[in-house]
Copies of this chain bind each other. A is one copy, B any other.
Amino acid sequence: MAKIYLDHGATTPLHPEVLEAMKPYLTDLFGNPSSLHSFGREVRKGLEEAREKAAAAIGAEEREIVFTSGGTESDNLAIRGVARAARQRGNHIITSAVEHHAVLDACLGLREEGFDVTVLPVDGYGMVRVSDVEAAITDQTILISIMLANNEVGTLQPVAEIGKIARGRGVVFHTDAVQAIGNLPVNVNDLHCDLLALSAHKHYGPKGVGVLYVRKGTRLKVFNFGGSQERKMRPGTENVPGIIGMGRAIELAVQELDKKADRIRKLRDKLIAGVLEIGDVRLNGHPTERLPGNVNVSVRYVEGESLILSLDLKGIAASSGSACTSGSLDPSHVLLAMGLDHQTAHGSLRLTLGAGNTEEEIDYVLSVMPEIVSRLRSMSPVYAGQRRD
């Protein structure tokens, strides 16, 4: 059976060159980078080269790069680290309703500690309004966290503009660029951000490693204690093979960006057009300001998990924002924030394209989709009554 992976938003395979870069660090180069002897020094060298690569990829300085265990940790360290460090100056945090849970829940969790959290609404495309950000800032505001690209619907946020405003008002600005890197240019100076989160496995690097960019001068209060690794911002023996892989992956992601993004964008547009032809299907997210690989649609009268299972039986890997897959009882908070009703939100299907996908694969997906949809609709009590052809 065909095996077609259309869930690059969830995770990506290792780039073969990333694995090559990691291999020596899984065998001979096993020393602890904190060790003084040659086994340690060699590994330290590799680690610092990875740091240079990560810094170069986003226009940062090496000492502004902190390696973490992934996007979730980066987001938490940024948000909770800044909040606690800036507590004396103010207690107000601004974020958006479409952030990843790592950001949203980190912010909301701070309410318990006396912080005041403004969760900005979005428009029908899932986009934050710059004017809303501006209007929300008070003299108590210490942190703004708005993502660069949404993981579910692919909508790109006006982060550079928000960054400029934050800078002007003297507010620390964090952006979650986990989905953006490798798909669009990411430069910490153009974005005017003070903190930026990355996760290697979203850009063909290994799982379990991420980066938090921390602009020099930005104060963080860390909450893990131990060794003095990563300038004490992230104690613990480093995930060396992971960090080496992250360095190589981000280097490749930036090098291959233009070539890859254009090709994927074309496939995406073909896939969107084809899926919309099924009828009673709506595109979620912005029509143009979206990630090159993101397709998110709602298929009316049908529930998302049953779509995913049906596609899986045809060898196609996809995801959904339906409650059954969101890990909670409600469907995706992103789709609801965009104003979708529950049925439409439950019927969402996310197909995220990546480096390995081909036009033939898209053709195959489009050839099996209509049949799957009509079978599920034929079982649906809401379809039977309300057919609108």
- In the complex, which residues of chain B have a beta carbon less than 8 angstroms from the beta carbon of A31? 7, 10-11, 317
A80 is an interface residue with CB less than 8 A from chain B? yes
CB-based contact B236/A37 at 8 Å: no
- Residue from the list B14, B36, B105, B312 in contact with A37, Cβ < 8 A: B312
B10 in contact with A34 (CB, 8 Å): yes
A272 at interface, CB cutoff 8 A: no
Q: How far is the CB of A94 from chain B (nearest CB, A)?
A: 17
In A33-81, which residues have CB < 8 Å from any B CB? 34-40, 69-73, 75-76, 80
A236 & B72 in contact (Cβ 8 Å cutoff): yes
CA distance A241 to B201 in the complex (A): 12
Known: A225-B102, A227-B102. A209 touches B206 (CB 8 A): no
Query: 14 new A-B pairs (CB below 8 Å) besides A10-B32, A11-B35, A206-B239?
Result: A7-B37, A7-B39, A11-B30, A11-B237, A36-B305, A40-B317, A69-B239, A72-B224, A76-B226, A101-B235, A106-B224, A108-B225, A199-B237, A223-B223
- Inter-chain contacts of A187 with B (CB < 8 A): none
Q: Please give the number of chain A residues whose Cβ is less than 8 angstroms from any Cβ of chain B in the complex.
A: 69
* Cβ contact within 8 Å between B26 and A14: yes
Residue positions of A touching B, CB distance < 8 A = 3, 5, 7, 10-14, 19, 22, 26-27, 30-32, 34-40, 69-73, 75-76, 80, 100-102, 105-106, 108-109, 199, 201, 206-209, 223-228, 235-242, 305, 308-309, 311-312, 315-319, 325, 327
A352 nearest CB across to chain B (Å) = 11
Inside 8 A of A19's CB, which chain B residues have their CB? 26-27
- Give every chain B residue within 8 A of A201 (Cβ-Cβ): 32, 237
B36 adjacent to A312 (CB under 8 Å): yes
* A32 touching B14 in the complex, CB below 8 Å, given contacts A239-B207, A327-B228: no
Q: Which residues of B contact A207 (CB under 8 A)?
A: 237-242
Q: Is the CB of A225 within 8 A of B109?
A: yes
A311 to B311, CA, bound (A): 61
A73 partner residues in chain B, CB cutoff 8 A? 69, 224, 236
Given the complex, which residues of B lie within 8 Å of A227, measured CB to CB? 72, 101-102, 327
The interface residues of chain B lying within 8 Å CB-to-CB of A318 are: 37
Complex-state Cα separation, A7 to B120, whole angstroms: 52
On chain B, the residues within 8 Å of A199 by CB distance are 237
Q: Which residues of B contact A10 (CB under 8 A)?
A: 31-32, 34-35, 40
Q: Provide the residues of chain B in CB contact with A223, threshold 8 Å.
A: 76, 80, 223
